[in-house]
Every structure is written in C-alpha cells, then in structure tokens.
C-alpha cells in the first residue's frame, strides 16, 4: 500500500488537540497519535477502493438479515 | 462449597421450580461462596448480599403462592458494572464515571428480573470496557480463579471470574471486540456474543455504538440458551435492536442432533500464534464433534487484518466522541493505557470513519460468500496463545506487554467487526493449568445453531463441569 502524501505529523496533532479539543499533548504522545492516524488513514483509504457509489444506507443490517435467511 | 454451587443455571432454576430448593438456599450458597473467593479473585465492585437475600425471600414467598415469575425464578446472578440500574451508581470500571447515577434500568436487567433472577451486585471489568486483559488500575485487577497470577481476560473480567468460581449461576457481559468470549474462554465457562442488534443495549454504558453487544456468560450452552430466551428480541427503548424473529433457544436444544452439520476449520489467521496445547485441545474438540456426526471442512480465510484495522477506526471514532469532553475536563481520571487507546479517535477524519462503516457490509458479504457459504459454523480458538500473567500484561513491568495485549483479541475481532454471533465453549486445559476454549461463529441470527452444537459437545464432554480449586 502506498503511503499517503502529506501524512500527519505530531505537530499537526498537537495543533488539533489544542484548537479542537482544548487538550495539551506531549510531543511523544502527539507523535504516537500521528503514527496511529496515518495507519488508519492509509488502511481505510486503500480498502475504500472496494466501495461503490450505489451502496445503500443500512445495508449492514440487511446483509446480516439475509445471511440468516440463507441458513434456513 | 455447597453442592448447590455446583449446579448449572438450568439445574438451579429447575430445582426452585420443582420445590427441591429455595431461592434463599441458593442465594445463601452463593453469598458464602463469594465471601470465600472474593479476596482471591476480586470479582465484585459492589456486593449486596442483604438486598439479594431480600429478593430471594420475596421469590420464595411468590413461589409459595404458586406464582413463578419465569424461567429464572429465584436464581442469583451478578452483572458487569456497566448495566444501568435506576438510582444506582454505575462505574463502568472507571474513575471518570465513579459517581454516575443511572436514571433508567437496562432492558437486559429488566427482562432477567421479570423472569425471576436475583441480583447479587455489580462486577469488575476493564476500565470503560476497554481492554482484553481485564486489567483495572482503579478497582484492582480481577484474578483468574484457576490461577490468580493470571489474567481473567476482559473486558467482562468479574463476570468470567465469578461464574467460574461458582459464586453466581450466570452473569451478563458485554462484547465489543471479544469481551464476553475472552473471559469466558480464559476462565473456563461458556459465553455468547450474539449477533449485532439481537439483544437490546438500552441502559448499557456504550463503548462503541456500532460494535457493542450484551451476552450471557454461564456454565453451559443450555444456560446461555435459557438466558437468551429471556433477553433477546426487539426493545422499544433501543430502536437499533433487531425485529428479526427470535428462536426458542432452549427448546432447540432438545434432542440436539448435529449430524451433517458442516463445521469449518480455518486454514489461516486463527492458529498464527497457537501453542501446541491449544492446537491439541482444538483438534480433540473437532474429533468429538466429528464423532457426533458433524462434517469437518477446511476453509480458506479472507484477510483478517482489515477487520482489525477497520474495527479500530470505528471503535476509536465512537469512543472518542463519547469521551472527548471528559478527556478535556478530567484527563487525570483515565488510566494512561485506556486514554491512549481511545485518544486517536479525536483526530479521525469523518470520511475515514464513514468509509469504515460503509466497508462493513461489503466485507461481511465477502465473508459470507467465501467462508460461510461452504459451512454452517466456523470453529476456531478464542485465544490461541498462552494465557499471560497479570505481570506480563503490565506495560510498566514488561516490555512485551503491548504485543501480549494486542494478541489477546487476535481471534475474536472478526466476529465483532462482521457482527456475527460467536459462542465460546471450554474444551481443555493448557500447560499453565488454564482453560482453553473454541469458538463457533455462525451466520447472522443463528445463535440457535451455535447453542445446539455447543450443547451437543457438552453432552459428550465434561470440560464445562470442571471447577477451579479455590
């Protein structure tokens, strides 16, 4: 999987922590969160290639129900 | 320990119904057992023996008039301390909610008590239901009744420890990534994570709205079936609960026949970290199931790392939203580990969260088409690696703690992300003298199939009857 350009840095996270949530993060913790966020971003972005524009809302519950029917 | 403590939930309830034992006798036996084991296992946050005895006397009075409330009449239980009870403090195993007083009662509790169950108190858990080890820095760790140096598994740690120690006949746990199945497996009892939305979550402190489930933890599959008959089904107070018809779970166990049932064995992922003991116990359990007439089929697994990662996105986004305000106002009230596990959710782009949610049905359909289409249930370890000690899961003591904790839920996250039901069934012991369990994962709303297979297995084995020597 390709790394996303412009990945978040600890400084970005520290800025968001202060401006969005009124939190004061240490440099170490901000760097850890940035690394975690970049992983989530990359993984989800890559997996999202499987999505279609015509996905229906509530389809998770629908697939679960259909699976019950297929067992009967 | 009284012989009464050795009864299963079904046996205890049926004995009360037949007048062979009183509810007070059952409750006194549980109280005596709790007083003996609590100093070792630390299962309770709030133990309420007098209130339980008052309830038991009421049940006996009702029974004397021929008035039985239901299938759990007079049976003592205790539940994870995140189920609301009107007017009572619900800590959720946390300091941040340490003075939270509920103004409603969880539907699950309402239904259990309408069926006659008695409440012994509230049970320990991982802080905010977040933590597969079950550790809790605020209330002290629950300890494994088979060996108190070891974890109980979590997050429903007190539920697993108490039922295994025979201090109650059943408990409710909640499961977001494995929190019913792990303590059930590690403490040697039977536990069911139902299909997403099968059981009402009204009055249960949320961790993740999309992933949380409440489920029974008891000694046998039959016990879990009886509990599910009471708690499953649509609830007006939880509009997300499913209107899908509810099976008669206990009735479905009668003459349980599993001949021809197709049991899948995964060719990848689930045994990645398996010890030889776990492999042997799981293999022997498959031999038993085969002997009962099941067909064993190897099945290839799709990539499971994506389930872990997307579950992480959804859980952090939702838990981050729930805790954002308290993070700002009372950061010192969170343990470092719990805060670290939720905190990233505060910075998660909305688009990524929604993508993870939209991917859930896509990946569920893929799993159903490629795995469940060939089989009726998937058989796999609940936890494949050795049960760690409490010290081995302490990041302040062990450099490997992060990895050890991460591996605990390695085999349980898939059913959580996919919303599928999964039953944990004890099937042996490993070299540290701690229990081993397999899980049966089924299609949506097929809890009855899982319980039937679990019941048939327990009819042919005695692992579920083994008791820790406390």
In angstroms, rounded to a whole number, what is the distance separating the alpha carbons of residues B364 and B358?
11
Residue in B8, B23, B133, B179 annotated catalytic:
B179
Chain B residues within 8 A of A41 when measuring between CB atoms: 349, 352
In angstroms, rounded to a whole number, what is the distance separating the alpha carbons of residues B379 and B403?
25
- State yes or no: pLDDT of B432 exceeds 90: no
DSSP SS3 for B296: strand
Check B306 against A43: CB less than 8 A apart: yes
- This model of the complex carries an ipTM of 0.91
| Sign of the alpha-carbon dihedral angle for B324, B330, B332, B338 | negative
Q: Does B368 touch chain A (CB under 8 A)?
A: yes
In order, the DSSP letters of B377-424 are EEEEES--SPPPBTGGG-TTT-TTHHHHHHHHTTTTHHHHHHT--EEE
At residue A68, the pLDDT reads 86
Are the CB atoms for B162 and B438 separated by under 8 Å?
A: no
The answer to whether B95 is a known catalytic residue is: no
At residue A72, the pLDDT reads 58
| Confidence category of residue B83, pLDDT binned at 50, 70, 90 | very high
The residue-averaged pLDDT of B395-417 equals 91
- State yes or no: pLDDT of A71 exceeds 90: no
Q: List, in order of start, the domains of chain B with CATH numbers.
A: 3-465 (3.90.1300.10)
Are the CB atoms for B282 and B381 separated by under 8 Å?
A: yes
- Among B226, B251, B221, which residue's Cα sits nearest to residue B451? B221
Give pTM, 2 decimals.
Answer: 0.97
For residue B19, how many C-alpha atoms fall within 13 Å in the half-sphere facing its CB? 7
More confident residue, B65 or A4: B65
What are the two backbone dihedrals, phi and then psi, of residue B435, each rounded to the nearest 5 degrees? -65, 155
In angstroms, rounded to a whole number, what is the distance separating the alpha carbons of residues B215 and A37?
32
In angstroms, rounded to a whole number, what is the distance separating the alpha carbons of residues B422 and B416?
9
The residue-averaged pLDDT of B206-221 equals 98
More confident residue, A6 or B99: B99
- Among B154, B192, B161, B124, which residue's Cα sits nearest to residue B37? B161
The residue-averaged pLDDT of B134-138 equals 93
pLDDT digits (tens, 9 = 90+) for B248-279: 999 999 987 899 999 999 999 999 999 999 99
Strand partners, B380: B439
| H or E element that contains B227 | helix B221-231
The residue-averaged pLDDT of A43-59 equals 83
| Confidence category of residue A52, pLDDT binned at 50, 70, 90 | confident
CB atoms under 10 Å from CB of B240, counted, come to: 15
- Among B295, B269, B240, B302, which residue's Cα sits nearest to residue B407? B269
The mean predicted confidence, pLDDT, of chain B is 96
CA B200 to chain CA centroid, Å, is: 15
In angstroms, rounded to a whole number, what is the distance separating the alpha carbons of residues B182 and B379?
15
- State yes or no: pLDDT of A53 exceeds 80: no
| Confidence category of residue A4, pLDDT binned at 50, 70, 90 | low
At residue B397, the pLDDT reads 85
pLDDT digits (tens, 9 = 90+) for B348-373: 999 999 999 999 999 999 999 999 99
Check B355 against A48: CB less than 8 A apart: yes
For residue A27, how many C-alpha atoms fall within 13 Å in the half-sphere facing its CB? 0
CB atoms under 10 Å from CB of A62, counted, come to: 14
| Confidence category of residue A5, pLDDT binned at 50, 70, 90 | low
Helix, strand, coil percent content, chain B, rounded in steps of 5: 45, 15, 40
Average the pLDDT over each of B130-144, B145-159, B325-339 and give the range with the smallest value: B325-339
DSSP SS3 for B36: helix
Q: Does B229 touch chain A (CB under 8 A)?
A: no
The answer to whether B184 is a known catalytic residue is: no
| Confidence category of residue B232, pLDDT binned at 50, 70, 90 | very high
DSSP alpha helices (H): ranges in B264-335? 276-291, 305-329
The residue-averaged pLDDT of B185-203 equals 98
At residue A3, the pLDDT reads 52
CB atoms under 10 Å from CB of B430, counted, come to: 18
The residue-averaged pLDDT of B465-469 equals 96
- Among B259, B250, B262, B366, which residue's Cα sits nearest to residue B304? B366
**From B306, B356, B365, residue closest to A63, measured CB to CB:** B365
The answer to whether B210 is a known catalytic residue is: no
Chain B residues within 8 A of A64 when measuring between CB atoms: 195-197, 364, 419-420, 444-445
Strand partners, B422: B193, B441
- State yes or no: pLDDT of B41 exceeds 80: yes
Å between B399 CA and nearest CA of chain A: 17
Q: Does A15 touch chain B (CB under 8 A)?
A: no
Q: Does B322 touch chain A (CB under 8 A)?
A: no
Residue to mutate among B198, B213, B336, B343, with most A CBs inside 10 A, is B343
At residue A1, the pLDDT reads 46
The residue-averaged pLDDT of B322-333 equals 90
Longest CA–CA span in chain B (Å) reads 61
The residue-averaged pLDDT of B148-157 equals 97
Token pair belonging to A62: 């629908």
């Amino acid at each position: 999987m390709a790394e996303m350009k412009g990945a978040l840095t600890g400084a970005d996270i520290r800025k968001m922590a202060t401006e969005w949530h009124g939190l004061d993060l240490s440099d170490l913790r901000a760097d850890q969160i940035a690394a975690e966020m970049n992983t989530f971003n990359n993984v989800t972005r890559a997996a999202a290639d499987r999505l279609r524009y015509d996905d229906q809302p509530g389809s998770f519950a629908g697939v679960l129900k259909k699976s019950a029917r297929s067992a009967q | 320990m009284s012989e009464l403590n050795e009864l299963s939930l079904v046996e205890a309830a049926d004995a009360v119904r037949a007048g062979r034992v009183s509810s007070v006798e059952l409750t006194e036996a549980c109280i005596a057992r709790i007083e003996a084991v609590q100093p070792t296992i630390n299962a309770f946050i709030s133990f309420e023996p007098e209130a339980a005895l008052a309830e038991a006397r009421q049940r006996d009075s009702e029974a004397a008039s021929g008035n039985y409330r239901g299938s759990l009449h007079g049976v003592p239980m205790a539940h994870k301390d995140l189920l609301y009870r009107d007017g009572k403090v619900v800590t959720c195993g946390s300091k941040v909610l340490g003075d939270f007083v509920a103004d409603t009662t969880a539907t699950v509790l309402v239904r259990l008590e309408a069926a006659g169950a008695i409440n012994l108190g509230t049970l320990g858990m991982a802080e905010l239901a977040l933590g597969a080890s079950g550790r809790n820095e605020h209330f002290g760790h629950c300890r494994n009744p088979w060996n108190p140096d070891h974890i109980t598994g979590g997050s429903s740690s007190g539920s697993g420890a108490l039922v295994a120690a025979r201090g109650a006949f059943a408990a409710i746990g909640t499961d977001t990534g494995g929190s019913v199945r792990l303590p059930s497996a590690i403490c040697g009892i039977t536990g069911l994570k139902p299909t997403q939305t099968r059981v009402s979550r009204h009055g249960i402190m949320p961790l993740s709205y999309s992933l949380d489930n409440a489920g029974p933890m008891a000694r046998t599959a039959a016990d879990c079936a009886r509990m599910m008959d009471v708690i499953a089904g649509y609830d007006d107070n939880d509009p997300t609960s499913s209107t899908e018809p509810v099976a008669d779970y206990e009735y479905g166990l009668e003459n349980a026949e599993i001949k021809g049932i197709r049991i899948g064995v995964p060719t990848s992922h689930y045994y990645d970290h398996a010890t030889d003991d776990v492999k042997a116990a799981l293999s022997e359990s498959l031999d038993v199931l085969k002997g009962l007439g099941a067909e064993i089929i190897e099945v290839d697994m799709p990539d499971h790392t994506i389930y872990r990662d997307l579950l992480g996105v959804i859980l952090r986004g939702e838990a981050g939203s729930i805790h954002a305000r308290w993070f700002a106002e009372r950061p010192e009230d969170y343990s470092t580990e719990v805060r670290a596990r939720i905190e990233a959710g505060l910075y998660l782009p909305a688009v990524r969260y929604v993508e993870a949610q939209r991917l859930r049905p896509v990946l569920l359909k893929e799993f159903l088409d490629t795995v469940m289409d060939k089989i009726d249930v998937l058989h796999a370890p609940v936890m494949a690696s050795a049960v760690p000690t409490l010290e081995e899961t302490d990041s302040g003591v062990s450099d490997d703690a992060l990895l050890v904790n991460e591996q605990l839920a390695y085999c349980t996250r898939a059913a959580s992300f996919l919303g599928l039901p999964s039953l944990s069934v004890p099937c042996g012991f490993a070299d540290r003298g701690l229990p081993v369990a397999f899980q049966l994962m089924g299609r949506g709303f097929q809890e009855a199939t899982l319980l039937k297979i679990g019941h048939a297995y327990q009819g042919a084995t005695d692992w579920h009857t083994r008791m820790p020597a406390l």
